[in-house]
Amino acid sequence: MHSRSHTRKHDASRRDFFRFLTGSTLAGASILELAFHRAAWSRALAAESDTQLFEIEKVAEGVYLAKARAQAIINCNAAIFVNSADVLVVDAHSKPSAAAALIAQIKKQVTSKPVRYVVDSHFHWDHTQGDHAYRAAESKIDFIASEPTKQLLSDLAQKRLKESLDQVPGQIDSLRARAAKSRSDTEKTSCEDQIRQLRAYQEELRNYAPELPTITFATSYVLRDKAHDLHIEFHGRAHTAGDVVVFCPQKRAVATGDMILGFLPFIADGYPKTWPKTIDSVASLEFDRILPGHGPLQTNRQPMTNERNYIEELTEKVATGKKAGKSIADLQEAITIQSLRSMESNGYAAYVAKNQSQLLPALESSDLASGVKANVAEVYRNLDRA
């Protein structure tokens, strides 16, 4: 059933996970810890039972995009591929309770078939911290990722979680101050709800350890099924060192994680010189629909092309300025939205501003300029990455 052009590694990832989590390989500790997490997820879901966290959109027969709704702690989208006997899901959000919520939505709105595979498109916390929910929900589950992504999860997942948790107290203080100043009951209620979400995130992730991939590969891993084929492919470094896409040739659809998305690209872990070439490689595939890691379904290639051109133009401008001895601050002053042809071309600036404001309601349009400044600094620091 499976045709695999890959390097499959049978490792003790589940045992390693529990060693990280409990400092022990005792099976009893594993069961107790899993029970603790199930209870935490149930409490989180109960508090949000009146709200579905995702809008599930049918893309093609057996292919769906679960678009994340706005939350205090951002969730990524998920791509859902319904096979003949099971399901493959791409990406698992910022916390297990969000993944558990999606599992429930899939069973209610899409299919009763079990989720058999979860693909980690890359290592970032808002795409992988929910993996444990699939382990708890399904008796047989594999997590698929590129070899670099597995290494990055092992090296950096705990550090990135700590960084996200360290931001929570400041976010809560900011929301309290905003509520205190507001005369709007609606805004006060919104602030209170976001504070509740932030506290729930702290509680849920306090004993987190990464769920490491059980299947890894260097270039590609292919699942052949009666319903369709799924090609999980590494095309080159882009948003991170290990980004993969999931391409379904029969349904002419591709899930891209954050390599291709509806926001401004995040380049702090990125490879600005190779990213456009990686997108060019993905573009050689025959697809009509892009299921991105954030933002809406893309039904044509224009947003992808706009993003590619933006990264390339920004990188060229930063490289020229850095070679001339200019600092990050100098280039942030000189490189503006108005100075970038790619931002103005085909409405790219308006497109990303709209998508970000819908998912991150606190953002204002001026933050698009802040996003470009952040990208300038990220490119400057990562310019020599290959």
pLDDT tens per residue across span 192-227? 999 999 999 999 999 888 999 999 999 999 999 999
Q: Residues 59, 256: contact at Cβ < 8 Å?
A: no
pLDDT confidence of 32, banded at 50, 70, 90? very low
Q: Could you give the domains of the chain?
A: 2-151+209-280 (3.60.15.10), 303-382 (no CATH)
Give the model confidence (pLDDT) of 148-176 as tens digits: 999 999 999 999 999 999 999 999 999 99
340: left (phi over 0), alpha (psi -120 to 50) or beta: beta
Give the pLDDT of residue 365: 43
pLDDT confidence of 262, banded at 50, 70, 90? very high
Q: Which is nearest to 125 in space by CA: 167, 63, 82?
A: 167
Which helix (H) or strand (E) segment is 97 a member of? helix 96-109
191: left (phi over 0), alpha (psi -120 to 50) or beta: alpha
Q: What is the pTM of this model?
A: 0.87
Q: Indicate whether 50 pLDDT > 60.
A: no
| Residue whose entry in the numeric block shows the structure tokens 């005792």 | 26
pLDDT confidence of 361, banded at 50, 70, 90? low
Q: From CA 309, how far away is CA 275, in angstroms rounded?
A: 10
User: Could you tell me whether strands 229-233 and 245-248 are parallel, antiparallel, or unpaired per DSSP bridges?
Assistant: antiparallel
Q: Indicate whether 9 pLDDT > 90.
A: no
CA angle 197, 136, 126 (to 5 degrees): 40
pLDDT confidence of 18, banded at 50, 70, 90? very low
Q: Indicate whether 8 pLDDT > 80.
A: no
Give the model confidence (pLDDT) of 283-322 as tens digits: 999 999 999 999 999 999 999 999 999 999 999 999 999 9
Where is pLDDT greater, at 268 or 22? Answer: 268
Q: Indicate whether 27 pLDDT > 80.
A: no
| Alpha-helix runs per DSSP H in 286-366 | 302-323, 328-334, 341-344, 348-359
pLDDT confidence of 21, banded at 50, 70, 90? very low
